[in-house]
Protein backbone atom coordinates (compact mmCIF):
# COMPACT_ATOMS: atom_id res chain seq x y z
CA UNK A 1 0.00 0.00 0.00
CA UNK A 2 1.54 3.30 -1.09
CA UNK A 3 0.96 6.71 0.48
CA UNK A 4 1.04 9.38 -2.21
CA UNK A 5 2.24 13.00 -2.06
CA UNK A 6 2.72 15.65 -4.69
CA UNK A 7 6.33 16.11 -3.49
CA UNK A 8 8.60 14.09 -1.24
CA UNK A 9 11.72 15.77 0.17
CA UNK A 10 14.57 13.53 1.30
CA UNK A 11 16.64 15.27 3.98
CA UNK A 12 15.53 17.57 6.78
CA UNK A 13 18.56 19.81 7.15
CA UNK A 14 18.54 23.49 6.23
CA UNK A 15 18.07 22.63 2.53
CA UNK A 16 15.15 20.27 3.04
CA UNK A 17 13.49 22.63 5.50
CA UNK A 18 13.92 25.54 3.07
CA UNK A 19 12.29 23.48 0.34
CA UNK A 20 9.44 22.60 2.65
CA UNK A 21 8.90 26.28 3.51
CA UNK A 22 8.71 27.24 -0.17
CA UNK A 23 6.28 24.42 -0.97
CA UNK A 24 4.09 25.16 2.03
CA UNK A 25 4.00 28.81 1.00
CA UNK A 26 2.69 27.71 -2.42
CA UNK A 27 0.16 25.27 -1.02
CA UNK A 28 1.81 22.12 -2.41
CA UNK A 29 1.24 19.00 -0.33
CA UNK A 30 4.49 17.27 0.61
CA UNK A 31 6.37 15.36 3.26
CA UNK A 32 9.99 15.52 4.48
CA UNK A 33 11.94 12.43 5.52
CA UNK A 34 14.93 12.99 7.83
CA UNK A 35 17.11 10.02 8.71
CA UNK A 36 18.17 11.45 12.07
CA UNK A 37 16.74 14.60 13.64
CA UNK A 38 16.68 18.25 12.70
CA UNK A 39 20.16 19.79 13.02
CA UNK A 40 21.91 16.39 13.14
CA UNK A 41 25.02 17.24 11.12
CA UNK A 42 25.62 20.46 13.04
CA UNK A 43 24.92 18.83 16.41
CA UNK A 44 26.66 15.49 16.02
CA UNK A 45 29.30 15.89 13.31
CA UNK A 46 30.99 19.11 14.43
CA UNK A 47 33.45 19.70 17.25
CA UNK A 48 32.54 21.65 20.38
CA UNK A 49 34.17 24.97 19.43
CA UNK A 50 32.89 24.90 15.83
CA UNK A 51 31.46 28.14 14.48
CA UNK A 52 30.43 29.56 11.13
CA UNK A 53 33.09 31.18 8.94
CA UNK A 54 30.53 33.49 7.31
CA UNK A 55 28.88 36.30 9.30
CA UNK A 56 25.48 35.76 10.85
CA UNK A 57 23.81 38.24 8.50
CA UNK A 58 24.34 35.70 5.72
CA UNK A 59 21.97 33.28 7.46
CA UNK A 60 19.05 33.93 5.15
CA UNK A 61 16.85 30.84 5.09
CA UNK A 62 13.56 31.55 3.30
CA UNK A 63 11.19 33.34 5.65
CA UNK A 64 13.71 33.29 8.49
CA UNK A 65 16.64 35.67 8.18
CA UNK A 66 18.96 36.06 11.15
CA UNK A 67 17.51 38.69 13.49
CA UNK A 68 19.83 38.39 16.48
CA UNK A 69 21.93 41.05 18.14
CA UNK A 70 25.23 40.18 16.43
CA UNK A 71 24.79 40.23 12.63
CA UNK A 72 28.54 40.60 12.07
CA UNK A 73 29.42 37.80 14.48
CA UNK A 74 29.70 34.08 13.84
CA UNK A 75 27.26 31.64 15.37
CA UNK A 76 28.75 28.80 17.37
CA UNK A 77 27.67 25.19 17.06
CA UNK A 78 24.84 25.29 19.63
CA UNK A 79 23.52 28.56 18.20
CA UNK A 80 23.44 27.07 14.69
CA UNK A 81 21.43 24.10 15.92
CA UNK A 82 19.05 26.44 17.74
CA UNK A 83 18.65 28.61 14.61
CA UNK A 84 17.66 25.57 12.53
CA UNK A 85 15.33 24.18 15.20
CA UNK A 86 13.63 27.57 15.61
CA UNK A 87 13.30 27.84 11.84
CA UNK A 88 11.44 24.55 11.73
CA UNK A 89 9.25 25.59 14.65
CA UNK A 90 8.36 28.83 12.85
CA UNK A 91 6.35 27.08 10.12
CA UNK A 92 5.86 23.48 11.34
CA UNK A 93 7.02 21.50 8.29
CA UNK A 94 5.45 18.07 7.66
CA UNK A 95 8.65 16.27 8.65
CA UNK A 96 9.18 12.68 9.75
CA UNK A 97 12.36 12.40 11.82
CA UNK A 98 14.16 9.12 12.33
CA UNK A 99 13.05 7.85 8.91
CA UNK A 100 15.65 6.53 6.51
CA UNK A 101 14.97 6.45 2.79
CA UNK A 102 16.23 3.10 1.53
CA UNK A 103 15.55 3.41 -2.18
CA UNK A 104 14.18 5.85 -4.74
CA UNK A 105 13.02 4.57 -8.13
CA UNK A 106 10.82 5.74 -11.00
CA UNK A 107 7.73 3.81 -12.04
CA UNK A 108 7.47 4.83 -15.67
CA UNK A 109 4.21 2.95 -16.22
CA UNK A 110 2.44 4.98 -13.52
CA UNK A 111 4.64 8.06 -14.01
CA UNK A 112 5.39 8.34 -10.28
CA UNK A 113 8.46 8.02 -8.10
CA UNK A 114 8.52 5.21 -5.57
CA UNK A 115 10.23 5.81 -2.23
CA UNK A 116 10.98 2.90 0.09
CA UNK A 117 11.57 3.93 3.71
CA UNK A 118 11.94 2.37 7.14
CA UNK A 119 8.28 3.24 7.87
CA UNK A 120 6.81 1.97 4.62
CA UNK A 121 6.47 2.72 0.93
CA UNK A 122 5.44 6.03 -0.61
CA UNK A 123 4.90 7.51 -4.06
CA UNK A 124 5.28 11.06 -5.29
CA UNK A 125 4.80 13.07 -8.46
CA UNK A 126 8.07 14.88 -7.75
CA UNK A 127 11.09 14.30 -5.49
CA UNK A 128 13.75 16.61 -4.04
CA UNK A 129 17.01 15.13 -2.76
CA UNK A 130 18.26 17.52 -0.07
CA UNK A 131 20.90 15.47 1.74
CA UNK A 132 23.91 17.62 0.86
CA UNK A 133 27.14 16.20 -0.52
CA UNK A 134 29.06 15.16 2.60
CA UNK A 135 27.97 11.63 3.40
CA UNK A 136 30.67 9.11 4.30
CA UNK A 137 33.96 10.14 5.97
CA UNK A 138 36.88 9.76 3.59
CA UNK A 139 39.79 7.89 5.17
CA UNK A 140 42.87 7.12 3.06
CA UNK A 141 44.14 3.52 2.99
CA UNK A 142 47.44 4.73 4.43
CA UNK A 143 45.63 4.95 7.79
CA UNK A 144 45.90 1.16 8.00
CA UNK A 145 49.66 1.48 8.52
CA UNK A 146 49.33 3.04 11.97
CA UNK A 147 49.54 0.63 14.90
CA UNK A 148 46.42 -0.13 16.94
CA UNK A 149 47.65 1.92 19.92
CA UNK A 150 47.36 5.14 17.89
CA UNK A 151 43.88 6.64 18.16
CA UNK A 152 42.52 7.63 14.75
CA UNK A 153 39.56 9.95 14.22
CA UNK A 154 37.90 11.56 11.23
CA UNK A 155 37.22 15.28 11.64
CA UNK A 156 33.50 14.48 12.02
CA UNK A 157 34.32 12.45 15.17
CA UNK A 158 36.53 15.03 16.89
CA UNK A 159 34.91 16.81 19.84
CA UNK A 160 37.49 18.67 21.93
CA UNK A 161 41.12 18.46 23.13
CA UNK A 162 40.04 17.07 26.53
CA UNK A 163 38.55 13.97 24.91
CA UNK A 164 41.95 12.92 23.51
CA UNK A 165 44.66 10.95 25.32
CA UNK A 166 47.89 12.61 26.41
CA UNK A 167 50.51 13.09 23.73
CA UNK A 168 50.98 14.94 20.47
CA UNK A 169 48.40 15.01 17.68
CA UNK A 170 48.96 14.59 13.95
CA UNK A 171 46.38 16.51 11.91
CA UNK A 172 46.24 15.54 8.24
CA UNK A 173 44.72 18.12 5.91
CA UNK A 174 44.46 21.90 5.92
CA UNK A 175 41.02 22.62 4.57
CA UNK A 176 38.73 24.54 6.89
CA UNK A 177 38.25 21.60 9.26
CA UNK A 178 41.94 20.71 9.45
CA UNK A 179 43.11 24.23 10.16
CA UNK A 180 40.37 24.96 12.69
CA UNK A 181 40.90 21.69 14.55
CA UNK A 182 44.67 22.25 14.55
CA UNK A 183 44.04 25.70 16.04
CA UNK A 184 41.65 24.27 18.64
CA UNK A 185 44.29 21.79 19.77
CA UNK A 186 47.09 24.36 19.64
CA UNK A 187 45.18 26.84 21.81
CA UNK A 188 44.58 24.07 24.34
CA UNK A 189 48.32 23.51 24.65
CA UNK A 190 48.53 20.29 22.62
CA UNK A 191 51.64 19.61 20.57
CA UNK A 192 50.34 19.57 17.00
CA UNK A 193 51.97 18.18 13.87
CA UNK A 194 50.08 19.53 10.86
CA UNK A 195 50.35 18.10 7.34
CA UNK A 196 49.84 21.18 5.17
CA UNK A 197 48.00 20.54 1.92
CA UNK A 198 47.12 22.71 -1.05
CA UNK A 199 43.97 24.35 0.32
CA UNK A 200 43.88 28.15 -0.14
CA UNK A 201 43.44 30.64 2.67
CA UNK A 202 41.41 33.80 2.92
CA UNK A 203 42.00 37.05 4.76
CA UNK A 204 39.38 37.68 7.44
CA UNK A 205 39.26 41.46 7.32
CA UNK A 206 40.68 43.83 4.76
CA UNK A 207 40.51 47.57 4.35
CA UNK A 208 37.96 48.12 7.10
CA UNK A 209 35.53 45.27 6.39
CA UNK A 210 35.13 41.56 6.72
CA UNK A 211 36.16 40.03 3.40
CA UNK A 212 32.74 38.35 3.13
CA UNK A 213 31.16 41.83 3.16
CA UNK A 214 33.39 42.92 0.28
CA UNK A 215 32.73 39.74 -1.72
CA UNK A 216 28.98 40.09 -1.21
CA UNK A 217 29.11 43.74 -2.30
CA UNK A 218 31.07 42.67 -5.39
CA UNK A 219 28.44 40.07 -6.31
CA UNK A 220 30.59 36.97 -5.79
CA UNK A 221 27.86 35.12 -3.92
CA UNK A 222 25.44 35.79 -6.80
CA UNK A 223 27.80 34.58 -9.52
CA UNK A 224 26.23 31.61 -11.32
CA UNK A 225 28.43 28.58 -11.90
CA UNK A 226 28.01 28.99 -15.67
CA UNK A 227 29.59 32.44 -15.36
CA UNK A 228 32.47 31.28 -13.16
CA UNK A 229 35.86 31.12 -14.96
CA UNK A 230 36.34 27.52 -13.84
CA UNK A 231 32.75 26.45 -14.58
CA UNK A 232 31.87 23.07 -13.00
CA UNK A 233 35.47 22.40 -11.94
CA UNK A 234 34.95 24.86 -9.08
CA UNK A 235 32.75 22.28 -7.35
CA UNK A 236 35.84 20.19 -6.57
CA UNK A 237 37.89 23.07 -5.16
CA UNK A 238 38.71 23.16 -1.46
CA UNK A 239 37.21 25.94 0.62
CA UNK A 240 39.49 28.74 1.78
CA UNK A 241 40.57 28.32 5.38
CA UNK A 242 39.63 31.06 7.82
CA UNK A 243 37.76 31.11 11.13
CA UNK A 244 34.90 32.89 12.85
CA UNK A 245 36.30 31.97 16.27
CA UNK A 246 36.44 34.74 18.89
CA UNK A 247 34.71 37.19 16.58
CA UNK A 248 36.55 36.09 13.45
CA UNK A 249 40.19 36.11 12.42
CA UNK A 250 42.61 34.74 9.88
CA UNK A 251 44.23 31.38 10.42
CA UNK A 252 47.95 32.03 10.16
CA UNK A 253 49.80 28.73 10.02
CA UNK A 254 53.13 30.57 9.96
CA UNK A 255 52.28 32.21 13.28
CA UNK A 256 51.35 28.82 14.72
CA UNK A 257 54.81 27.57 13.67
CA UNK A 258 56.46 30.38 15.62
CA UNK A 259 54.38 29.34 18.63
CA UNK A 260 55.51 25.72 18.41
CA UNK A 261 53.18 23.92 16.00
CA UNK A 262 55.15 21.59 13.73
CA UNK A 263 54.30 22.09 10.07
CA UNK A 264 55.04 19.43 7.47
CA UNK A 265 54.28 18.83 3.82
CA UNK A 266 51.58 16.38 2.78
CA UNK A 267 51.79 12.90 4.27
CA UNK A 268 53.61 10.64 1.81
CA UNK A 269 54.22 7.29 3.51
CA UNK A 270 54.38 5.40 6.79
CA UNK A 271 57.21 2.91 7.30
CA UNK A 272 57.17 1.22 10.70
CA UNK A 273 57.57 4.14 13.17
CA UNK A 274 58.51 6.70 10.53
CA UNK A 275 56.26 9.29 8.91
CA UNK A 276 57.44 10.57 5.52
CA UNK A 277 56.26 13.85 4.00
CA UNK A 278 56.33 15.35 0.54
CA UNK A 279 58.73 18.25 0.08
CA UNK A 280 55.94 20.74 -0.61
CA UNK A 281 55.52 22.69 2.64
CA UNK A 282 57.07 25.91 1.30
CA UNK A 283 55.09 25.65 -1.92
CA UNK A 284 51.78 25.03 -0.13
CA UNK A 285 52.25 27.89 2.32
CA UNK A 286 53.26 30.26 -0.48
CA UNK A 287 50.34 29.24 -2.69
CA UNK A 288 47.86 29.76 0.15
CA UNK A 289 49.31 33.23 0.73
CA UNK A 290 49.12 33.98 -2.99
CA UNK A 291 45.40 33.21 -3.04
CA UNK A 292 44.81 35.48 -0.03
CA UNK A 293 46.77 38.27 -1.73
CA UNK A 294 44.83 37.80 -4.98
CA UNK A 295 41.57 38.27 -3.03
CA UNK A 296 42.95 41.51 -1.61
CA UNK A 297 43.98 42.74 -5.07
CA UNK A 298 40.51 42.02 -6.41
CA UNK A 299 39.02 44.05 -3.56
CA UNK A 300 41.54 46.85 -4.25
CA UNK A 301 40.38 46.96 -7.86
CA UNK A 302 36.73 47.15 -6.80
CA UNK A 303 37.47 49.95 -4.34
CA UNK A 304 39.42 51.92 -6.95
CA UNK A 305 36.83 51.43 -9.69
CA UNK A 306 33.97 52.59 -7.48
CA UNK A 307 35.99 55.30 -5.71
CA UNK A 308 35.12 53.91 -2.27
CA UNK A 309 36.72 55.52 0.74
CA UNK A 310 38.50 52.70 2.61
CA UNK A 311 41.57 52.58 4.85
CA UNK A 312 44.82 51.18 3.47
CA UNK A 313 46.20 48.03 5.06
CA UNK A 314 49.96 47.46 5.31
CA UNK A 315 51.40 44.99 2.79
CA UNK A 316 51.50 41.35 3.83
CA UNK A 317 54.77 40.03 5.23
CA UNK A 318 55.15 36.33 6.07
CA UNK A 319 56.18 36.03 9.72
CA UNK A 320 57.90 32.65 9.35
CA UNK A 321 59.66 30.57 6.73
CA UNK A 322 60.74 26.93 7.06
CA UNK A 323 64.48 26.86 7.61
CA UNK A 324 64.86 23.31 6.37
CA UNK A 325 62.68 20.62 4.90
CA UNK A 326 61.93 17.95 7.50
CA UNK A 327 60.84 15.08 5.30
CA UNK A 328 60.53 12.40 7.99
CA UNK A 329 59.93 12.03 11.73
CA UNK A 330 59.68 9.12 14.15
CA UNK A 331 56.11 9.27 15.43
CA UNK A 332 56.96 7.23 18.53
CA UNK A 333 59.76 9.61 19.54
CA UNK A 334 57.48 12.55 18.68
CA UNK A 335 54.97 11.06 21.17
CA UNK A 336 52.11 11.16 18.64
CA UNK A 337 49.16 9.36 20.20
CA UNK A 338 46.32 10.59 17.97
CA UNK A 339 45.79 11.10 14.23
CA UNK A 340 42.89 13.27 13.05
CA UNK A 341 42.04 12.82 9.38
CA UNK A 342 40.63 16.04 7.93
CA UNK A 343 40.32 14.51 4.50
CA UNK A 344 36.74 15.22 3.54
CA UNK A 345 33.85 13.00 2.56
CA UNK A 346 32.62 10.66 -0.14
CA UNK A 347 29.18 11.21 -1.62
CA UNK A 348 26.84 8.21 -1.49
CA UNK A 349 23.76 8.31 -3.68
CA UNK A 350 23.76 4.54 -4.21
CA UNK A 351 20.22 4.29 -2.81
CA UNK A 352 18.92 6.43 -5.68
CA UNK A 353 18.12 4.23 -8.67
CA UNK A 354 17.42 7.06 -11.09
CA UNK A 355 19.75 7.51 -14.12
CA UNK A 356 20.98 11.05 -13.43
CA UNK A 357 24.57 10.46 -12.28
CA UNK A 358 27.90 10.93 -14.02
CA UNK A 359 30.88 8.55 -13.96
CA UNK A 360 31.94 9.83 -10.53
CA UNK A 361 28.54 9.45 -8.95
CA UNK A 362 27.72 13.17 -9.05
CA UNK A 363 24.20 14.08 -10.13
CA UNK A 364 23.86 15.81 -13.47
CA UNK A 365 21.61 18.84 -13.12
CA UNK A 366 20.97 22.43 -14.15
CA UNK A 367 20.26 24.56 -11.08
CA UNK A 368 19.18 21.36 -9.31
CA UNK A 369 16.87 20.25 -12.13
CA UNK A 370 17.85 16.86 -13.56
CA UNK A 371 17.07 15.34 -16.95
CA UNK A 372 14.47 13.10 -15.27
CA UNK A 373 11.33 15.21 -15.13
CA UNK A 374 10.24 15.91 -11.55
CA UNK A 375 13.51 14.86 -9.94
CA UNK A 376 15.64 17.54 -8.24
CA UNK A 377 18.63 18.19 -5.99
CA UNK A 378 19.05 20.98 -3.44
CA UNK A 379 21.77 22.04 -1.00
CA UNK A 380 24.82 20.83 -2.95
CA UNK A 381 27.90 23.10 -2.96
CA UNK A 382 27.81 25.23 -6.10
CA UNK A 383 24.41 23.85 -7.10
CA UNK A 384 23.99 27.25 -8.75
CA UNK A 385 26.10 29.82 -6.87
CA UNK A 386 28.78 29.92 -4.19
CA UNK A 387 26.03 30.30 -1.60
CA UNK A 388 24.09 27.20 -2.70
CA UNK A 389 25.64 24.97 -0.05
CA UNK A 390 25.48 27.69 2.60
CA UNK A 391 22.78 29.50 4.54
CA UNK A 392 23.07 32.47 2.20
CA UNK A 393 22.01 30.93 -1.11
CA UNK A 394 19.55 28.16 -0.28
CA UNK A 395 16.49 30.45 -0.45
CA UNK A 396 17.14 31.38 -4.08
CA UNK A 397 17.64 27.74 -5.07
CA UNK A 398 14.61 26.46 -3.14
CA UNK A 399 12.32 29.14 -4.58
CA UNK A 400 13.55 28.34 -8.08
CA UNK A 401 12.83 24.62 -7.65
CA UNK A 402 9.42 25.35 -6.13
CA UNK A 403 8.53 27.43 -9.19
CA UNK A 404 9.73 24.59 -11.44
CA UNK A 405 7.45 22.21 -9.56
CA UNK A 406 4.48 24.54 -9.93
CA UNK A 407 5.12 24.75 -13.68
CA UNK A 408 5.38 20.97 -13.99
CA UNK A 409 2.23 20.46 -11.94
CA UNK A 410 0.29 22.89 -14.17
CA UNK A 411 1.64 21.23 -17.30
CA UNK A 412 0.66 17.78 -15.98
CA UNK A 413 -2.83 18.99 -15.09
CA UNK A 414 -3.23 20.59 -18.50
CA UNK A 415 -2.09 17.39 -20.20
CA UNK A 416 -4.46 15.30 -18.12
CA UNK A 417 -7.37 17.59 -18.96
CA UNK A 418 -6.52 17.40 -22.66
CA UNK A 419 -6.70 13.60 -22.54
CA UNK A 420 -10.07 13.71 -20.77
CA UNK A 421 -11.35 16.33 -23.20
CA UNK A 422 -10.31 14.26 -26.22
CA UNK A 423 -12.03 11.24 -24.71
CA UNK A 424 -15.27 13.17 -24.16
CA UNK A 425 -15.23 14.64 -27.65
CA UNK A 426 -14.46 11.27 -29.17
CA UNK A 427 -17.32 9.64 -27.34
DSSP reduced 3-state for 39: coil
- 238-294 tens-digit pLDDT: 889 999 999 999 999 999 999 999 999 999 999 999 999 999 999 999 999 999 999
Mean pLDDT, residues 360-366 taken together: 94
3.90.180.10, 3.40.1190.20, 3.50.50.60, 3.40.50.150: CATH of 3-135+347-423: 3.50.50.60
Entry field: residues in the chain = 427
Give the H or E element holding residue 85.
helix 77-91
The rounded distance, in Å, linking the Cα atoms of 350 and 361 is 8
CATH architecture assigned to 138-341: 3-Layer(bba) Sandwich (3.50)
- 384-398 tens-digit pLDDT: 999 898 999 999 999
- Do the domains spanning 3-135+347-423 and 138-341 agree at the CATH topology level? yes
- Are 30 and 395 in contact, with CB atoms under 8 Å apart? no
Q: Which residues pair with 270 in a beta bridge?
A: 275
- 56-113 tens-digit pLDDT: 999 999 999 999 999 999 999 999 999 999 999 999 999 999 999 999 999 999 999 9
Q: Which of 389, 72, 2 minimizes the C-alpha distance to 397?
A: 389
HEC secondary structure over 261-288: CEEECCEEEEECCEEEECCCHHHHHHHH
Domain residue ranges in the chain: 3-135+347-423, 138-341
Average pLDDT, the chain: 94
Percent of the chain past pLDDT 70, that is, above it, reads 96
Which pLDDT does position 75 carry in this prediction?
A: 98
Confidence of residue 427 (pLDDT cuts 50, 70, 90): very low
Amino acid sequence: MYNHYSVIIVGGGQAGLSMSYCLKERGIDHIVFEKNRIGHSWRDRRWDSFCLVTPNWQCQLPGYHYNGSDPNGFMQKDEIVKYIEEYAASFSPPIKEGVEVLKVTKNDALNVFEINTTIGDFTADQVVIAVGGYHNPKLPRIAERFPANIMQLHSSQYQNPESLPDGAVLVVGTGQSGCQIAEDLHLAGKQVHLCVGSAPRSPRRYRGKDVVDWLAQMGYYDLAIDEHPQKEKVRAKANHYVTGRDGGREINLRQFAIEGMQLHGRLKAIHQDKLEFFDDLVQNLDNADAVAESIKKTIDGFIDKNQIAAPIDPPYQPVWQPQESILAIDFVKANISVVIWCTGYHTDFSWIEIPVFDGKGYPGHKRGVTDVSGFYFLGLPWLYTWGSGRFSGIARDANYLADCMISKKKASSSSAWSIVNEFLIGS
